[in-house]
Structure 1
Amino acid sequence: MPPQLIAPTVAVHASFLAAMAEFRADGTEHVPHSGLARELRTWAGRWPTAEGFAAYVGTVGDAAPVERADGVVPVTTRWWVADGVYLGRVTFRHRLTDELLHYGGHIGYAVRPGARRQGHATAMLRAALPVAHHELGIDPVLVTCDDTNTGSRKVIESCGGIFEDRRDEKLRYWIHAPATAAGR
């Protein structure tokens, strides 16, 4: 079966653990402003147990994210999985704060290091856009990347990203929902 975006599930526990080990070896837990880095620092000690992993999945797999009192925006997470193997993830931020407007955007994505350069990032972002546009009502979608990340820049542009500007080390792109036949 080809890869697809799915809700987080305990069914991919073993491959998730392997992917997180790859991310840790890649230095991801030290990346500033990264939700994945934060999760690696917060949850890594609990992921190995079935109970700890189930608790994590329950946290990131919430079907209806809510606004938090501490100002953290609601986030929806989907995992990129093929044949029961965790390959990466997409996070959808339902609205933008001033900080997210500058460096984070609406969508963040990460492909496990062992699955990179195989087209997964482009396929993931393409699969994520209808979720953002139609399920979550986000249009246009802001996607950002580091100015040194040529691969991510190409992914965003190939998915219809229109460059707006550079803010510090971040490139900012907007992606609009495609026009429908009824909307033309």
Structure 2
Amino acid sequence: MPQLVSPTVAVMQSFLGAMDEAWREGADNTQTAGWIARYGATWHTLEGFADFVAQLHAEESDPSVLPHGWVLTSTRWWVEGDEYLGRIAVRHVLSDFLREVGGHIGYDVRPSARRRGHATAMLRAVLPYAHELGIDPALVTCDDDNVPSIRVIEACGGVLEDVRGRKRRYWVPTSA
């Protein structure tokens, strides 16, 4: 049964396979695309991948390691055994940009694992953690034409606030 875990080198090979899938699919303007751009040249070695994982852990609590304009973010990976299925990120606060476009929570599922309920399960699983961080409700956004993501957010109790440009903005309760 899949579960949320902190980023770990234990799923390195599967993670790299997922990044290759995302690259072939044409991932753009996503967290995955950002990771590929920043770390893709070095994460194919155990040392490089360990550095990537360490950076993700540091981004949860050390503002000094964040690129300009970023906020503290807790990243969790959705894994089953040693298979990486997806990722979800909880941004601890909203910057002006995140308030308009990105929201508190962002997620994606590797292309070969889609349409199996992983995104809905991930979002449901991370909501109590967001609540522990003092986030309630959480802003979750998606593109206006992303029907699968709309279904995920609404299945988790998301209430549409509005549509701004191409982004639908939902508020999702984090408490039971």
Q: Is 2:45 the counterpart of 1:46?
A: no
For 1:53-132, list aligned pairs within 5 A. 53-62=49-58, 64-68=60-64, 70-132=68-130
The one-letter code sitting in structure 2 at the alignment partner of 1:153 is: I
Contact 1:22/1:112 (<8 A) preserved: yes
The one-letter code matched in structure 2 to 1:39 is W
Distance 1:169 1:123, change over 3 A: same
Question: What's the counterpart of residue 156 of structure 1?
Answer: 153
Indicate the SS of the match to 1:58: helix
> What pairs up with 1:20-39 in 2 under 5 angstroms?
20-28=19-27, 31-32=28-29, 34-39=30-35
The superposition leaves residues 126-174 of structure 1 with CA deviations (integer Å, 9 ceiling, x where unpaired) of 001111112x121110000000000000000000001000000000000
Q: Deviations over 1:43-68 (max 9, x none)?
A: 11111101000000000123842334
Judge conservation of contact 1:62–1:76 (CA < 8 Å) in 2.
no
Counterparts of 1:16 and 1:65 in 2: how far apart (Å)?
23
Is residue 142 from structure 1 mapped to residue 169 from structure 2 by the alignment? no
Contact 1:9 1:61 in 2 (8 A): no
Q: Give the 3-state SS of the residue equivalent to 2:169 in structure 1.
A: strand
Following TM superposition, where does structure 1 have runs of at least 4 consecutive aligned residues deviating by more than 3 angstroms?
none
Match 2:174 to one of 166, 172, 177: 177
Q: Which has the larger radius of gyration?
A: 1
1:167 equivalent in structure 2? 164
2:3: which partner in 1? Answer: 4
Post-superposition offset of 1:178? 3.1
- Indicate the residue corresponding to 1:182 in structure 2: none
Q: Match of 1:21, as an amino acid? A: D
5+ residue gaps, structure 2, are none
Q: Which residue type is aligned with residue 52 of structure 2?
A: Y
Identity rate, percent: 52
- CA distance in 2 between counterparts of 1:165 and 1:84 reads 39
SS at match of 2:87: strand
Task: Supply the AA of the counterpart residue of 2:104.
Answer: H
